[in-house]
Chains A and B, each alone.
Chain A
Amino acid sequence: MTIKIFVTGTGIISAIGNNEREVLESVKTGKSGIGISKLLQTIYSKEIPVGEVQCNNKELSDLAKISNKLPNSRTSLLGIIAAKEAVLNAGIKDINEYRTGLISATTIGGMDKSEHFYRNFRKDKTKGKLRYISTHDCGESTQKIAKELNIHGFYTTINTACSSSANAVMLGARLIRNGFADRIIAGGTDALCLFTLNGFNSLMILDHNLCKPFDETRNGLNIGEGAGYIVMESEDCIKKSGKLPLAELTGYGNACDAYHQTASSPEGEGAYLAMSKAFASGDIKPEMIDYINAHGTGTTNNDLSEGIALQRIFGNNVPYFSSTKSATGHTLGASGGIQAVLSIMAIRNKIIFQSLNFNQQMKELTICPVQQRIDNFNVKHVLSNSFGFGGNNTSLIFSAV
């Protein structure tokens, strides 16, 4: 029999709140975190809206309860805050009581600090503060989070672009099932930086207004920042501690679209395969899904490809779906972790979240996202989609316990 994977803690920080309580309040009221950037210093601050966490690095250090003296990348700070919240909510006192590991995802690591470094280094190779560039590699934030959580066990970093933290959750579950760990903290973190803002801008896939996922007139994504982590425990762990889990991870699937580096295939093959594999991995069938937290970036290409894949999987019975990226922005490597936390929030609070800014039905599809929040809905099973550059697609299924 397959070992069950329980979620016992969740932690989140994003443009719509610095913790779970604030985020829940925001999604209930339909608040959007997208707007003019106040902290990111870019020439596009008035032109391109972003989903920015409303705290400077000093304030984030305070929230993370760490010293502001060492140069922590914004990615590390966001990650520490959300991971600590997840561990706290899981009621973990001694983190090394069980074999506990950390799987953290990020796509840009300390790029915000590298940008500072390169300003001076570019002109003079002897210039630029080394303490900035030393945060560059993706593993740096993971190591810092592991240290802050006092994890003695295994830790590793995933970067499969925008599906990174969904893959972190999937790897965590597999490590527990294969007996390599009893407990895994998994998720991801990414901060806003000029590199990604300008990267997506050069690809012309940033909406200069609020993004409109699954809308006929959608015109690109809003880039965001944040972090989301969940604590997963084995059945044995739960039995020993007597802890009441928040949810169960009942399915996961990873597939590659194998179509194009930055575009999704017109028939949504990778998305279709990732969802199919998630259903095949456990006992949950498509007709049991109550809500889909879609990848739904708001780009012309993704929403069409994902929409077609949803119709292929669910036929004429596509469940309620929405894109919470319309509120948080697309948080890249953190998005799978943030969506995992939101999916569990939907189950726990019996809510189906609304998709913001939807007005016009897409011509190619017969489906449209939820536009008004639905309360008191018995959400038993949620599908969460995360798709990335290079066609790295991953789907997760969370269920009520």
Chain B
Amino acid sequence: MEIFIKGTNSISPAGNFGNITHVPEIKFIDGLLKYYSCVEPVYKEIINPVLLRRMSRTMKISIVSAMLCLKDAGVEIPDAIIAGTGMGCVEDSDKFLSLLIENEERMLNPTPFIYSTHNTISSQIAIMLKCHGYNSTYAGRGACFETSILDALMLLSDGNASNVLVGAYDELIANQIRILYRMGLFRETKESNSNEISGNHPGEEAAFFVLSAKPSGKDYAKISGMSVFSENEPLSESITGFLKKHFISFENINSVMFGNLHNNIQSGFYKKIVTLFPAFTNLLWFKHLCGEYMTSSAFALWLGANCLKTQQIPEIAFLRKTNNLPAKNMLIINNLSGNQFAIFLLTK
């Protein structure tokens, strides 16, 4: 089944689609731990300042992104709201956990606890919109954003919804960045002179999409297929099987976007996949624009959808530019934490 992306919005380190010309500014914690941070809009121009006062940073980023997405799609109230998040509302969790230990379980303010639960964002959006429809949240490592899309696809194909708001969010806080580096998931690197560009820094984002089973005439793109595979399954066979299932050949994919962390793709997970595609396929990447986090597929989907709509691919997104064909079919392949990888087929 095909689903149409009627509207989308992302608040990410990369900023607006039109501004994607360079690698976002890298920020530092403790002087040496690099990370990417969202370019945040002026919230009070978008949302009631009284409501804003009570929102954590991730609530602001996510809820505003969702509101802008609905506006972009021209949808006032969606029929369902679904969100995916790797780590959830980290700031409030960290706050409540720290206080609980510090105060030895006494005199605790319940507010951070209330907003620490992963479903805060999808339910807060529902409360703001008075949307009583289907509402769910997928969380943790693995395919949390992809399951959100799959869930939406089933709601649309069952005819239980016309417009589904689907999104992803993950925020970064200082303590989490410290932990991620200590775990060795990211490396502390001195500035090097090499040409290697790295997206191997912790990142964050909120991205939302309004999905519909019917074309609106002004859609960004269609999601023509999506699958999640276990890394235990043979990679090449999984991808070949996916394309076969969607009646499309490798030759018909104009561009493929990978979730690699470095512009040198001749190593690691993606090395084998690259060889599946003919030499004229454009190779793209995105993690140098948003960083690495559990729901990074959402940024890739937002970027890909914008490329297909505008028929323009930002120069900075190319790993290999070998054709100038109109962007028609795009494949996104992203390895997820938790030994899974996801494939999206986007078509114009």
Interface residues of A (CB under 8 A from B): 42-44, 106-107, 109, 111, 114-115, 118-119, 121-122, 125-126, 130, 133-134, 136-140, 142-143, 152-161, 167, 171, 174-175, 178, 180, 194-195, 198-199, 201-203, 254-262, 269-270, 273, 388-392
Contacts and interface: CB of A to CB of B under 8 A. Distances in A.
Interface stretch (B177-185, B248-256, B272-280, B298-306): B177-185
B134 A254 contact: yes
B113 A390 contact: no
A106 B118 CA distance: 10
A154 B143 contact: yes
Contact of A137 (B87, B123, B131): B87
Given A198-B105, A202-B109, A270-B132, 4 more contacts: A153-B230, A160-B119, A203-B113, A256-B135
Contact of A258 (B129, B178, B183, B233): B129
Contact of B140 (A138, A194, A388): A138
B144 A254 contact: no
Prevailing SS type, chain A contact patch? mixed
13 contacts: A107-B118, A118-B98, A138-B139, A139-B338, A157-B139, A157-B144, A159-B88, A159-B119, A256-B132, A256-B135, A269-B132, A390-B135, A391-B135
B97 A118 contact: yes
B140 A157 contact: yes
Contact of B230 (A106, A138, A152, A260): A152
B57 interface: no
B104 A43 contact: yes
Contacts of A260: 127
A139 B139 CA distance: 7
Interface in B39-98: 81, 86-88, 93, 96-98
Interface size class of B (residues with CB under 8 A): 35 or more
B179 A256 contact: no
B123 A130 contact: no
A254 B81 CA distance: 11
Contacts of B86: 137, 139
B120 interface: yes
B132 A257 contact: yes
Contacts of A139: 86, 139-142, 144, 294, 337-338
Interface string B135-167: 111111111100100110010011000000000
- Closest 7 CB pairs between A and B? A139-B140, A390-B123, A138-B140, A139-B141, A199-B113, A202-B110, A256-B135
B120 to A, nearest CB: 6
Contacts of A174: 151, 154, 158
Contacts of B138: 156-159
B102 A122 contact: yes
Contacts of B140: 106, 109, 137-140, 142, 157, 159
Nearest to A111: B97
A362 B313 CA distance: 64
A179 to B, nearest CB: 10
Contacts of A388: 119
A199 B96 contact: yes
Nearest to B98: A122
B81 A256 contact: yes
B126 interface: yes
A133 B132 CA distance: 36
Contacts of B101: 115, 118-119, 122
Contacts of B115: 261
B114 interface: yes
Contacts of A111: 97
A194 B105 contact: yes
Contacts of B190: none
Contacts of B110: 199, 202-203
A260 B124 CA distance: 8
B216 interface: no
B160 to A, nearest CB: 9
A180 to B, nearest CB: 7
Contact of B136 (A125, A158, A202): A158
Contact of B123 (A106, A143, A202, A256): A256
Given A43-B104, A156-B143, A159-B137, A391 B123 contact: yes
Given A121-B175, A203-B110, A390-B123, A194 B100 contact: yes
Contact of B142 (A142, A391, A392): A142
B108 interface: yes
Nearest to A203: B110
A159 B123 contact: no
A121 B180 CA distance: 13
Contact of B108 (A130, A202, A270): A202
A42 B105 CA distance: 8
Nearest to A158: B138
Contacts of B233: 152
Given A254-B136, A255-B133, A161 B338 contact: no
A261 B120 contact: yes
Given A138-B118, A198-B105, A260-B127, A392 B178 contact: no
- Which of B97, B105, B126, B131 has the most C-beta atoms of chain A within 10 angstroms of its own C-beta? B97
Contacts of A194: 100, 105
A133 B97 CA distance: 12
A114 B97 contact: yes
A258 B138 CA distance: 19
A152 B231 CA distance: 9
Contact of A255 (B113, B132, B154): B132
B345 interface: no
B296 to A, nearest CB: 15
B113 A202 contact: yes
B9 interface: no
Contacts of A258: 123, 126-127, 129-132
A134 B152 CA distance: 30
Given A125-B175, A139-B142, A142-B142, A159 B117 contact: yes
B193 interface: no
Contacts of A118: 97-98, 101
B38 interface: no
Nearest to B127: A258
A197 to B, nearest CB: 8
Nearest to A194: B100
Nearest to A120: B101
A154 B123 contact: no
Contacts of B192: none
Contacts of A257: 132
A111 to B, nearest CB: 8
Given A258-B127, A273-B132, A152 B100 contact: no
Given A143-B142, A156-B143, A256-B135, A130 B179 contact: yes
Contacts of B133: 255-256
A273 B179 CA distance: 42
